[in-house]
A and B are shown apart, each in its own frame.
Chain A
Amino acid sequence: MPTPSRSWREIPQRYRLEAGKCRGCGYVCFPPRVVCPHCGSREFGQTKLAGAGKLLTYTIIRVPPQPFEDQAPYAVGIAELDDGVKLTAQVVDCDFADLKVGLRVALEFRRVYEEGEAGVIYYGYKFVPE
């Protein structure tokens, strides 16, 4: 079982959607990076991800990895946010039949999974249809 530091250090991204913004070319990276893959700049500011976007693709996980065994089947997708950032998350609060490429989704703060009955509860973002 990982120590809490592993999830604790991701809190700015998972709870608050903090991204890095390259001072050289304006590229928004999520998660933040130390060097820009586009212009090579090492200078970054901070920005917050756009809260909504549209699904580029999706799937329904029927055979889950261990920590998600009690959640299957569940949908996961990649969305392109309105600021151009692309990211992966579960798609919740919708019927599987309503999933389609181009579906508008908003990011919401949700419980992602739990490490057993006494372990850490992991929170993060999920996509919810607008």
Chain B
Amino acid sequence: MKICHLTLFIIAAVFFLAVIYLALDEHPFSVNAQVNITAVVISNCGNGVIDSGEQCDGSNLNSQTCEGLGFTGGTLSCSYCAFDTSGCTGPTRPSSSGGGYIPQLSTVIFEGKASPKSTVTLLKDAQIAGTTIAGEDANFQITISGLSGGSYIFSVYSEDTEYKKSSLLTFYIYVTSGATTKVSGVFIAPTIAVDKSEAEKGQDLLLFGSTAPKADIQIFIKSKEKEFSVDTIADNEGKYKYSLNTGTLDFEQYQATAIAFINNLPSNLSKIIYFIVGKKTVFKGPLPECPLIGDFNNDCLVNLIDFSILIYWFDRPNPPAEIDLSPDGRIDLVDFSIMAYYWTG
């Protein structure tokens, strides 16, 4: 009898434990693969020879055409030793030959110059794909892996050691399945800032920023009535400054933007900053100037979260004033455009 009782109890206990085990047998879902950041040797982009990792070099397209990449026509060109398909028409994808399909993953490598010790951020389709720190020589390298073949929009920008962010430099790149694409010779725009949002006429106004060491800087200053440029040179640490005498300027608002040159090769244009020549002096606050324009959640970034906040209010009545970037009492494409200009990913 006792043995039967014991057997029954054991059976029940085993059954209960089995139920528990099956219920607890979770099947964790692996998060998708992450992108990698590695270092790569800088190639000799611009020598007209297709070196290892380069798709093309200058006018040498390695006999490739738009049609060869799967487009319907157009003109293929070369930018930073990678195919520039912005001149190709009607991209199409080749049909599969059937059977099981295993996508071949690709890698893209970006290398170039920013400002020394700046944080360089790479965006893939406007979202952060990787970051790295530029060296003391201002050189940087970022690798992104695990990509499927196709057209991508990559952007790079830097944030210097004084928290100033550069403008975005954007690339349209066709990534070949299973291959490594190298984009070399990238020269990120200088950062630019001004010490006063308003300068009393006659006072000096300081324009400053960071770029590659010893780069030549040209600063374009423009108002409704006037347009001129001034030159300066970055020091050994990549810092530049220009003291602008406002005595000869009219009472109005001005905008300034800068471009850097190394060996006559230009960077892209910097962000546009504004200042006023007026009757009083107003100093700007310390950097970083957070929140940025479009940075609704005050995390010093303008990204998908902020975009989603704007989407929430799209076509809704009475949007909050702090979200209305235009400001015109409604959220429309203009607000999104302003946000896109200040985008950081």
A, B in one complex: no
